[in-house]
Structure 1
Amino acid sequence: MIPLEEAQARVLAACRPKASAAVALDDALGLVLAEAVVAADNVPPFANSAMDGFAVRAGDLADASAARPARLRVIGTIAAGAPGLIPVGDGQAVRIMTGAPFPPGADAVAIVETTRTEGDDVLVSEPVVAGAHIRPVGEDLAAGQEVFPAGVALGAGHLGVLASAGRDPVPVVPSPVVGVLSTGDELVEGSGPLQPGQIRDSNRRTLLGLLRRDGFRAVDLGIARDDEGDIRRRLEEGAQRCDAILTSGGVSMGDFDFVKKVLDDLAAMAWMQIAIRPAKPFAFGAIGDVPIFGLPGNPVSSMVSYELLARPGLRRMAGHPDQALHRPLIPAVADDGSLRRRADGRTNYTRVLAAVGPDGRYHVRTAGGQASNLLWPMAVADALAVVPPGPGVEAGGEASILLLHP
């Protein structure tokens, strides 16, 4: 058996980021910037009011109070979107709305809550300081300023900032297109009755869902029968359509040769036994420049193998920086004895339920049965507890976890 880190290093060495492309902001959510983005304009592009009220000269309000309010003549109104070219002189004020351009001559905003109007005048009951409630030019971003560096995954807030900075389209690494292929004569789909020896294919649906959850473009390559011609045809077609392929099943030592033979014919494959439980068997190679991830057939093994090996490789293809490829290890307290184990030289990835306790720390307990064919406990688990070789973790002891739903 080989260490997990060795298998991960092999995967990451072969998974290179896709070439960058200019993508419209509407299509950029979740994608990674391929290069630093610089603001084309000042944000905001003009000084504007931060509040509804009156644009005034602060000196005119120096002695204003509730008992003796300052009286100013209102000479106009500036709404958001208006030019704002109403000069303000001594003893004058301009009604102004939030976001409206700030007029020349004024140097502060008297907020509406401190004012009342009488005919063409406004009475202001509090003094203001120069600059009060004014948003200056470039307060958020200055033209030419770096907005975000390369490697940033774009969230909704990022898109808003880029739109305000006049950057549309943006240079990103496109999300990889990933095909998913199940293999095996025993697999069927749908809700109809099962014939003897048949099982419903859950792995493909699970892996397609994991890919979509993680922002990759998933392609269903269907179920290949235990037939070399069918497997070869589906893999070759998948390599034409996709940037990477996940297969499920046919990589364990005792499996029939169909998948292994075809993959060995099409790609330079490494067939590995990794020192982890579950997901010990794993295969990796490439058809041309299309990486092939050979995941185990047991449902939980397939999911864990995806999390530890396929997901980091695909994230690298999507342009994520090295420090963001893997899920971070987070300390947690074991609330039960489910992290006890027998020593077998492998690292266990135990499916657990995780929650923050009154002490502010994560606490974990078992999500259910830990056999690699039991999909339900994996589905409800919040995290994988990483239990290194040895006797495991006693109740009340500290463990490290990988949060599956951060």
Structure 2
Amino acid sequence: MNPVLSAVESKLSSLPLPVQLILPDGQKLGSSSPDVTLTIKDKATLAHLAAGQVGVLGEDYVEGKFDVDGSMRDLMRIAAAILPGSPIEAARVGRLTELIRRLVSVWRHSIERDARQIQFHYDLSDDFYALWLDPRRVYSCAYFREPDMNIAQAQEAKLDHICRKLRLREGEKFLDVGAGWGGLLLWAAENYGVDATGITLSRNQHAYVNKLIEEKGLSGRVRMSLLDYRKLDESQPYDKIASVGMFEHVGRAQLDGYFSKLRRLVRPGGLVMNHGITAGGVDNAELGAGMGEFIEKYIFPGGELTHISHVLEHLAQGGLEGLDIENIRPHYARTLWAWSDALEAKLGQARQILTGAQGERSLRAYRMYLAGCAMGFQHGWIALHQVLAQPAQSGRPDELDNPEDLAYPWRRNYIYA
């Protein structure tokens, strides 16, 4: 037998559920009563399957080289089982490689290039995102404060979780960096009475949120700007700042400057909340087995992850003091599965929105992306950290006495009360 087919048959025999392959010539391999059937249209896909290159297989699916009959949850169980090793294992790189990585990161994140990259993802179609996001269109990790919460409830719990950590107070100046479709911006304004400013690089999001602001009668107290964070005015500092699901787009080489910018934007004694995806491995620059390349090509061009240990180092280099660090990785796994299940339930409607050959490619990419990321968070290959910080203090004897000019009380009671 062909060595590739022999390797594929060996893989099939060790899978955690019954799978059948239908080859280009009509031959069938694997189970006669499958939970998942893969119809292969290109022989090269068999080599990728034998090698466990799940990211490359994702590309093959997007390009129509095989079809899937079965659930995305089962498909991800198969993907995890065929990996040749951990996708976060990486050897420490030399100084030259690290320098090259840094130069590439700098090149990838000019103001103009970042705008194009954000618009590539977020301006795909508002109607498409509305199919599988919650009614507030919160496109970041939810917080399942109670195990039986649905996605809409968990997203509201997340918005409130952030506001409570920031100890938002009526009349405070609040900045939301990367405000998306306005979920946190409007929640903070409506429930905590803050004067709220949001920024985005997405034209669709900018138009959508400004329409909501006007409809809700919040024009005097809430604003949304189409603006890069690097161009924010530092002359009038904010009391509290949140950055949710944004710093993944900043680039590793820019993290010192990013955190330094946030420090200059917040008043002394104010608070900054950075909520973002982090790498599961300390040394890997992206997920292995082709998964990082898949995300770069089809979903988030320019996205870069770094381990929480490095995040905290960059945060300190930027002049911020870490106060409270919470890893909510399993919450993102559940969030992504909720999104994936919602999209799978509405594939017909999605095809009416994303039309033509390019629309079908985009839909296939998002099916793989949502389920694949859910698998990644579930296995701990990637994580999600909320880091609460303040401008570094020179030291004061009254910090435990809750002085008016310091926002952080140095006790966690305020979060859980």
Structure 1-normalised TM-score? 0.24
Larger radius of gyration: 1
Higher strand proportion, which one? 1
Structure 2-normalised TM-score? 0.23
Higher helix proportion, which one? 2
